[in-house]
Amino acid sequence: MNVLKFIVLLAFVSFFSCTDANEANSEKKILSFLVEGQVQETNINPEESTIQIWVDSTISLNAVAPEITVSEKAQINPASGQVVDFSKSPVSYTVTAEDNSSEIWKATIEHQKSNAAEILAFYLKRQNKPAVISDSTITIEVKLGTDLTSLAPEIQISPKAVIIPESGESVDFSQGPVNYVVTAENESQKNWAVSVTTEKVYNADIISYTIPNQSGHSVFNNATITIEVPADYNLTSVVPEIEVSDEAAIEPASGDAVDFSETGYVDYRLTTPINSVKNWRVYVIEEVIKPTNQKIQYLGRVDFANPLAPRFFAAGTGFIVKFRGTYCQVLLNDQVRYGTYHNYIQVVIDGVPTRIQTSDKKNTIDLAKELPEGEHTLMIFKDTEAGIGYLELAGFRCDELLVPDPMPERRIEFIGNSITCGYGVDDSQIACNTAEWYDQHNAFRSYGPEVARRLNAQWMLTSVSGIGMIHSCCDITYEMPDIYHSVNMTTGDYPWDFTKYPADVVTICLGQNDGVQDSASFCSAYVNFIASVRSKYPQAQIVCLTSPMADNYLFNALDKYLTGIVAYCHEQGDVKVHMLALSYNLNSGCDSHPSMEEHQQVANELEPFIKQLMNW
């Protein structure tokens, strides 16, 4: 019995021991899942039976061979190492346990989403050089004159990123940096500050230049500076304060003592950071006495429309100054009519006359040097007529202007043509018929000023070459009655104020250019012109002259015309109209005009006539 029980117990234990040892494994897990190009650890989710893997964007998902580890004694399909197409993830894997139970796993392989949010290139059409791209800023320089308010840049950014504002979109860069936002594939963002500026221009300019005790402001003109200083200023050691363009260097430097005494100027050299160079010249000159100075006396029809630059048109106009010192300098501007004409002037210092010609539009003329100490008188008269162009007085330089001597109280106006202008009088510098038609003009030596000087009278020449009473020569389209009222004696513009020069005597020497005319027409126009003169000068004595150039035929006609004209005026009650028959055939000067000697002859005849007439 006991033996039987033992056998039964042994069999029972053996039975159950055999049953535990042969029981099958039910585990069906994926323990690892690795692929080439994997960029981070595999995400295995046992609860949902999913696998997530991210690989480099360069890895093709069409043919992936994962290395897979599963539970012990389990099998997987597709097998580890088998090439599978993951381009259409997820891919199903079946894991079969030892006990033949199975589980489906979903494996997904995706390219890693980029976090790149970079601006790789930034281009504008008018840029000077490539954009400077740093960590999160871009600076770009465009050409001078570019409109910054509407620029459409071409932009290259990281793959699969987007940018706002978009490439090609017009943006206003004029108010400073513009913010661009780049969004990466993984939706992370980066801000970029983009600045657009116009190219930097490096100037080499002097902005300001001052010296101690200068008179007025420094005058800039292109690359020159002019500074006026008082008389007797020490020019040997001048210390200027100079301001120049940003980043420019100047030599000599601001604060360096410089010497203006030898040449009157100092040259400066400015250099920019890009080594461009500009030369400047600074002039320091003695202060100019302006034309508005009340100590200047003006003669003749002077145009004061601009008081700082009075204009002299007619022959014989001029000015007088009295000064103390050893020198005098005058600044004269010449119209340079037609681009070539240059006026002549008569310079008279202490009674000694000199005739000179201007050489440029702006002339600084040293009229007197090394004069004896003391008082001196300077007179300047325009020797050429209005047809040559005007002169402008810009000022004087001398030690001191003095109160001038009173002008003569007697006033004579000489109306006429080229003879009265002094045409052809002076061939002392240029021979007749060898240069310009006006090169022998010398109004100062003509009969009118000569008579006035002898009679201690002021003179005013109202004269134009070629002009007549009813007919002018040489393509002139007007006659003396048409322009008598004007300052410039050519177009009738600039009306003259006759109250400025109430003439005591008026001489009229016209008729040479008219020639022999219909007597009624000529005499009628002449009488009307006398009436016009009379309206300007109610008390003046008017003297009608025959032409010194006239041949016998014209002289006889003019003598007859003027005799009748004077008689008619007397009949009308104007007994202050007279006639003087001058010598004729006086044509020894240039272009058959009276010579200087013949003008003296005319003066010899006219002076005593006026002297007796006026009881001078």
- Report, as an integer, the average pLDDT of 417-442: 94
Residue 9 has pLDDT above 50, yes or no: no
Q: Which domains does the chain have, with CATH numbers?
A: 30-111 (2.60.40.2340), 119-198 (2.60.40.2340), 206-286 (2.60.40.2340), 297-402 (2.60.120.260), 410-614 (3.40.50.1110)
512 CB-side CA count, 13 A? 30
Question: For residues 160 and 185, is the Cβ–Cβ distance under 8 A?
Answer: yes
Model confidence band, residue 23 (pLDDT cutoffs 50, 70, 90): confident
C-beta of residue 42 within 8 angstroms of C-beta of residue 52: yes
Please, are residues 445 and 421 in contact by the beta-carbon 8 Å criterion?
no
Q: Span 391-400, mean pLDDT?
A: 91
Which tens digits make up the pLDDT trace of 336-371?
Answer: 999 999 999 999 999 999 999 999 999 999 887 789
- Of the candidates 535, 555, 543, 524, the one whose C-alpha atom is nearest the C-alpha of residue 606 is 543
Beta bridge partners of 43: 52
Residue 8 has pLDDT above 80, yes or no: no
Cα(222)–Cα(561) distance, rounded to whole angstroms?
A: 61
Task: Assign 469 to helix, strand or coil.
Answer: coil
Distance CA 150, CA 173 (A): 7
Q: What is the structure's pLDDT at 56?
A: 87
CB 328 within 8 A of CB 396: yes
Q: What is the 3-state secondary structure (H, E, C) of 509-576?
A: ECCCCCCCCCHHHHHHHHHHHHHHHHHHCCCCEEEEECCCCCCHHHHHHHHHHHHHHHHHHHHCCCCC
Rounded mean pLDDT, 175-204? 94
Above 50 in pLDDT, residue 229? yes
542: tokens are 């008017």
Could you report the per-residue pLDDT of 522-553, keeping only the tens digit for each? 999 999 999 999 999 999 999 999 999 999 99
Tell me how far apart the alpha carbons of residues 412 and 390 are, in angstroms, rounded to a whole number.
23
Task: Report, as an integer, the average pLDDT of 450-477.
Answer: 97
Strand partners, 237: none
Q: Is the model's pLDDT at 18 over the cut of 50? A: no
pLDDT score at 458: 97
Could you read off the pLDDT of 90-114 as tens digits, one per residue?
Answer: 999 999 999 999 999 999 999 888 8
What pLDDT score was predicted for residue 17? 44
Q: How confident is the model at residue 1 (pLDDT cuts 50, 70, 90)?
A: very low
| Secondary structure of residue 334 in the 3-state scheme | strand
Token pair of 121 as six digits? 């290139």
Residue 514 has pLDDT above 70, yes or no: yes
Q: What per-residue confidence (pLDDT) applies to 557?
A: 97
Nearest to 586 by CA among 577, 595, 574: 595
Tell me the C-alpha distance between 606 and 420, whole Å: 13
86: number of Cβ within 10 Å: 21
- For the segment 68-92, what is each residue's pLDDT rounded down to a tens digit? 999 999 999 999 999 999 998 899 9
Phi (first) and psi of residue 99, to 5 degrees: -85, 15
Would the pTM count as exceeding 0.75? no
* One-character DSSP codes across 154-193: EEEE-TT-EEESPTT--B--TTS-EEEEEE-TTS-EEEEE
* Helices 447-454 + 596-614 axis angle, to 10: 40
Q: Is the pLDDT of residue 58 over 80?
A: yes
CB count within 10 Å of CB 447 equals 31
pLDDT at 12 over 60: no
Q: Can you give the pLDDT at residue 399?
A: 83
pLDDT of residue 552: 97
Instruction: Give CA–CA dist 590/439, Å, rounded.
Output: 10
The confidence band for 400, taking pLDDT boundaries of 50, 70 and 90, is confident
- Which of 177, 184, 149 lies closest to 163 in space, CA to CA? 184
Residue 22 confidence class, pLDDT cut points 50, 70, 90:
low
C-alpha to C-alpha distance for 170 and 150, rounded to whole angstroms = 5
Checking if the pLDDT of 20 tops 60, the result is: no
Q: What percent of the chain is predicted at pLDDT more than 70?
A: 96
